[in-house]
């Protein structure tokens, strides 16, 4: 990147994006923007940008993961701060988009919080949004500003390709019907068969999965999803495929949300390898599953996207031969 580009582009980071942003800046050959976030005694957040951003192309890296509300508020304040400092363009880089699962009214008198968050980000002054593996891709339509939607598939597939010989006879299993398109593309790329779990959700915390559509007997099972939250779906699916004769289970997901009983469930589940990315920070808390955990970075992918946005180049060109997102 030229000296002029380095001067015109500014990359900042909230507290939930600082580690990822530092690695992105190394790839981009730019310095991380000088700014600080402070917490007042009453709990209010204060963001101060400590360098000139007038007329600059600014990017703010922040995952709105746990603590979701504090991280979201910090992102909004960052955007407002940059807007009032006369930044030319502000891109909210959200590796993980919180509230994505509240994307529709599935019963009476409930909010569509994903739309509310989109409105807040737009109202704060963001010019565009860069996010990764949205739980519901239609959320892109909730924004009245451009949204670039990345997938971590290139990162996951690179690892899976490198270790393909270890898996033997492989079958890609979709843990639910909604993920079949992604699972099918992974199966094509890895030269594997496809199977589907018949999942019946009992509640927000409990999932009952009983049937397997396809043959898993004597095979290594790979399950791919956009996130692992409470791990109920993935662990129950792992038990089901083992009951149907699978020899090993590997799971891969972009977002390691891992809340509630997730770590305990994964530690006890018949899963030998859990592949996740660093879209959500604080992976040091994963000690309970460290022997199973493979932690990959999406920093190069995000850095490449930021570079292309800065130079007004196509983002979709990065993914022409890669897995599609969940539909």
In the chain, the domains with their CATH numbers are 3-151+299-319 (3.40.50.2020), 153-296 (3.40.50.2020)
Q: How far are the Cα atoms of 51, 197, 247 from residue 326, in angstroms, in the given order?
A: 40, 16, 27
Over residues 106-140, the pLDDT tens digits come to: 899 999 999 999 999 999 999 999 999 999 899 99
324 or 68: which leads in pLDDT: 68
Which one is catalytic: 34, 105, 181, 199? 199
pLDDT, residue 176, reads 80
Q: Can you say how many angstroms the Cα of residue 212 is from the centroid of all Cα atoms in its chain?
A: 27
pLDDT, residue 201, reads 57
326 or 84: which leads in pLDDT: 84
Per the CB < 8 A criterion, the answer to whether 220 and 164 are in contact is no
CA distance 276 to 51: 35
Confidence category of residue 70, pLDDT binned at 50, 70, 90:
very high
pLDDT, residue 179, reads 86
High-pLDDT (> 90) share of the chain, %: 84
Give the count of beta carbons closer than 10 Å to the beta carbon of residue 130.
22
pLDDT, residue 99, reads 97
Q: Quick check: helix, strand or coil at residue 304?
A: helix
Determine whether 292 is an active site residue.
no
Q: Give pTM, 2 decimals.
A: 0.92
């Amino acid at each position: 990147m030229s000296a002029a580009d380095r001067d015109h582009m500014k990359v900042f980071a909230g507290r939930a994006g600082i580690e990822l942003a530092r690695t992105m800046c190394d790839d981009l050959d730019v310095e991380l923007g000088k700014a600080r976030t402070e917490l007042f005694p009453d709990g209010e957040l204060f963001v101060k940008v400590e360098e000139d951003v007038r007329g600059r192309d600014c990017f703010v890296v922040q995952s709105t993961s746990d603590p979701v509300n504090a991280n979201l508020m910090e992102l909004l304040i960052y955007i407002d701060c940059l807007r009032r400092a006369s930044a030319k363009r502000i891109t909210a880089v959200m590796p993980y988009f919180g509230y994505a699962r509240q994307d529709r009214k599935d019963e009476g008198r409930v909010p569509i919080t994903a739309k509310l968050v989109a409105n807040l980000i737009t109202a704060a002054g963001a010019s565009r949004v860069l996010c990764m593996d949205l739980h519901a891709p239609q959320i892109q339509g909730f924004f009245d500003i451009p949204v670039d939607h990345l997938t971590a598939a290139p990162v996951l597939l690179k690892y899976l390709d490198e270790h393909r010989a270890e898996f033997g006879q492989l079958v890609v299993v979709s843990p639910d019907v909604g993920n079949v398109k992604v699972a099918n593309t992974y199966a094509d790329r890895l030269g594997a068969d496809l199977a589907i779990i018949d999942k019946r959700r009992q509640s927000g915390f409990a999932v009952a999965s009983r049937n397997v559509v396809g043959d898993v007997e004597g095979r290594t099972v790979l399950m791919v999803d956009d996130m692992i939250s409470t791990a109920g779906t993935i662990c129950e699916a792992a038990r089901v495929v083992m009951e149907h004769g699978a020899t090993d289970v590997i799971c891969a997901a972009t977002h390691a949300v891992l809340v509630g009983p997730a770590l305990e469930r994964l530690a006890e589940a018949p899963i030998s390898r859990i592949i996740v990315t660093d879209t959500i920070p604080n992976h040091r808390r994963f000690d309970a599953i460290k022997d199973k955990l493979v932690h990959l970075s999406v920093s190069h992918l995000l850095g490449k996207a930021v570079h292309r946005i800065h130079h007004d180049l196509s983002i979709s060109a990065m993914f022409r031969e890669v897995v599609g997102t969940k539909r």
